[in-house]
Structure 1
Amino acid sequence: MKRKASAVQKHITTYSLLSLLCFVFFAPLNAAETDDPHYSKAGFFDLHLCHWPDRPPFFKAVFSTFEFDNLKYVSIENPDGSEITKLDTSSFIEFRSKGRKKRAFLQDHELADTPKAGWYTAKIHLKDGTVVEAKDYVDPGQLPLAEKIYPEEAQEVTLPVTIRWKPIEGATHYKLVIRDIWNNRKIAFRTKVITDTEVTVPDGKLEVDGEYEWLVHARDVDGDPILGDFNLGSQTAYSTFTVIE
């Protein structure tokens, strides 16, 4: 005679099934990620307060995941729980990380008012009915745009080229991007996130008679367990220069 499963046995069975689903659908987190609220078993969430030229300040929401096949939608909420927006999951950047396909969803959201300080939440809704949360703390403010020093707009320069800009109050890290105008504006050179405000472009990245444009992205932090990759960011407009003999 078969015995009916007890409530405890049913709970254990359900718990085991959920554990199996988590194992199948979710990549395990390492110790650092487990302690970071930006990471969940469904992916990574961050929210940047951006200052770009020729547009008002805006939020840039970022969500990246290996589990995109199980993703239904992601809603972004204010600290008071009201919804800001839903991410457009039809638009993404796909790349490989740790030998697996990963997708990053990036979406801008114009600000009607000054955002409030506090924890913003990404509610990640999965196709199996699971809802997972990740959080990012936003400390409102505005990072000034970098003031460029060299080269000046449309200046002719010789190799090697050293790019310089003034330090920004409130910024701790920068990234330089140079594009080749005559090669469909493809990136000719870009730095990693750096603390310097002067970069000499390595040999072979620029060519004589080439025309290039460059910008500087600045950020207030670089990887913070509370503020994420960065909290405040600014980006200059592009400036051009030409390399001569």
Structure 2
Amino acid sequence: MPNAAPSARPRNAGHPQLARGLLVAAALLLGLWGAWRSFAPAPANAREQLGAQARRIDALEQQVATLARSDQISRQANADLQATLAERDEEVAGLRADIAFYERFVGATGQRHGLAVHELRLQPQRDPQVWHFVATLTQNLNRGAVSSGQLRLALEVTDGGSMRRLDWNVLRQQASAPGVAYSFKYFQQVEGDIVLPRGARPVRVLVRLQPGTGPEVETPFSWSAAAEVAGAGG
């Protein structure tokens, strides 16, 4: 019996082994690349780069702190400027009021008035019983003539439900207390202190002017109004 011819080997019988070999080689290459990435030495200038980055961070932080401080200074300067402008506006308004006041008595077109008390201001002192007063006296009836005399105050107060009057001697705590002297041509501010008895509640102030010649002039002022004017001015 003749020998059977050997069967032909499949052409692709070695391909699976080749593919497996390629996969293993690829895996080894990937492993080696990862190990190199993990354990490869750092660049020679890595320390310099880290130092430069740290210095850059410090510089940026310093710039931020400087800008924040500059902003704070600018805000404070702006607030101070606004306060100064408000003070200057108030001063200008006061000067304009003074000019208007002076023109009323010195100006050629101002109305003529005899001796009078134009304004009274009352200001409390550290001792609550002591009050400082400022009275503005005016006259332009006799231009160029000097008006002189003495000023005294009197108070109408409530004490225990009843009304009574306190004269100058009581307010000055001195028997036969002299008045406050004045002497002016057009206007003058006369000032002094008075002492209120404890428990007395002032209602009205009477400003009495006794000129060297001529009749006495007495002008009443509400205590609350005179004290409010002083508070608004301070």
Q: What TM-score, normalized to structure 1?
A: 0.34
Larger Rg: 1 or 2? 2
Whichever structure has more strand as a proportion of its residues is: 1
TM-score (norm 2): 0.35
